[in-house]
Structure 1
Amino acid sequence: MGSTAREPEPRGERRFHQLSSLQLESVRRRTFASWPSASVDPDALARDGFFYMGEKDHVRCVFCGCHIGAWTPNDHVRTDHARYSPECSFVAGSLTGNIPRTPRTHDDDAGRLYAFLDDYHDSRLAHGRPRTRGRYQSDAVPLPSAEQPALSEFARKDTRRRTFSGWPKGAGAGADPLAEAGFIYTGVGDWVQCFQCSGGIHTWRHGDDPWADHAHFYPYCPFVREHLEQRGGESGVGEDLAPSPPPASSVPSRPEELSPEETELLLHHPIAQRLLSKGFDHRLVKEALKQKVETSGLMCSSLNEALEIIFDYEDSINESLSEKST
């Protein structure tokens, strides 16, 4: 296969709240912490839309789903990407929600926008909460054990276990322990989410304890709390699963509401530029995209999604005006 082992990299932030965060190059890059091949640069792979699947040297494109592996030293990432998936929107240069990593000293408007979106996502992830069925579930505030599960259809271990049919063979944690600890498999890489709190974890390494990581990243998940209470009465239970505060973060906290300057910056995104070129009102585009970013922490993934958001936002304004006039 033409590859040799690499030294493992720091995993960084392993939490996720939604799969769409793979739109960010920085998030894709974190999935390569256990990348085993020296044949191709993981920076180049993440830059070209790929994330690591957690098995051998297999990667997948976020934008087209193209799956490539068995890399050799003579391979070129973009050339192979275009060969195997010539219709990929990212390869073709079409509009996508990709957020490239940019130098923090970037002085053009697009560079400042991408740096802001990257920082905004990191802050939301470090200090925010997964959204579950239209409401917030906090990983920083105790919740009652009777809280409705985010994914109640997976409350039983056997239903969770069935989601792992395609679990990567080389993943660092086993399907049974993950299902036992409340996780379901998302079908993407080695990304799993808790049925109760919706909190997600990825980039597992051999030796990781799913219960310990679940308790570490989402210590107030009711499912984790119930497990800890049950284990507390058993002999031989150590402190490895004791509830602890969410992991300390070097990412500064910031308001979720965008400032006027940040909102104006959204108009420099290529999707926003296309909407403006089609004649959409400047303020309508700006406010609709502001609402999208504040709600999800991310920009639109495509022009079609942006159009839906614009029309929905416009409809909500018209409905509000109609209610006030009656």
Structure 2
Amino acid sequence: MNRPSSWMKIIDKIAEGQYVPPQNSMKYEMLRFCTLRSYPKENKPFIIRIAEAGFYYACNGDEVVCYCCGRRKSHWNVNDNPMDVHRQMNPKCSFLVRNSEVNVPIKPTGETSRDTAIKPADETNRDSPKYPEYATKTVRVDSFNTCDCTDISPASLAEAGLFYAGFSDCTRCFYCGIGMRNWSEEDDPWIEHCRWSKNCSFVKQKKGSEFVNLVQMAVQFGNEGNGKRDMVENLLHNDDAAQSVLEMGYCPRIVKHAIARILELKDQPQLTAKRLMEEIFIIEEEEEEQNSNGIIAQTQDRDDTEQLTQNTLKGR
């Protein structure tokens, strides 16, 4: 009998209501990616790049957290490179220096680029393709010749069993018949296919049952993230401790931030005004340090520019 994989053990623990530290659960890039599904994407880096850089969503504004070193980053802009940001924040982070040991990236498993159709079903399996005319990848790729409104390459969509449905950016799986639309550059066709059609025989054959189950687990994490955000909102408006801190003049943003961080702690201490204030002081110190580092960097840039100007003038 095969030993259960590491992520299956994580699923079992979650199902039993046990706490799973981010160092164990968020080492899977796919899980990090799915926590970012509710992330505020406007004028931010692509969420797939954020997940690749070791961050998961903290359900607080645009703040994300590294699962290895615990460093937090907020106030992103669209031009930020998440991996470079991570290196600047903590170049000695295990994610950066020992990545292959601590990170499980999203990567193809059992995938092939050959133009082959799905293997015939055995005699005991009556499952068959709903659109057999699109059973080969070449035919599926060609179906996108009349499509000019999808942000995903036809080859990637076709590889995942999808063909063009003939309108907007709508696609359909040749085997299970599931329809999908509203694609963005950040979407991974295999992940979306597994997410919405976990029983598709084509997906199971190409990616394997473990991949499908891992996607479903990732979706569960994303849903739990939304639930946590609702809990923070509820505590902010209804908890006596939170209300007392708000009455001191602290803005709701920083109080929500403090509540979210307290809820992340393993022992989940009681939410008191004192505990909230302690966390708020920590947050304020971290924000002051970030702002200070930004000012230092700007000053250095200005000094470099002035020095360059002086050298240029001397050379005239």
What's the TM-score once normalised by structure 2's chain length? 0.33
In our comparison, the structure showing a higher alpha carbon Rg is 2
Larger RCO (CA under 8 A, 6+ residues apart): 1
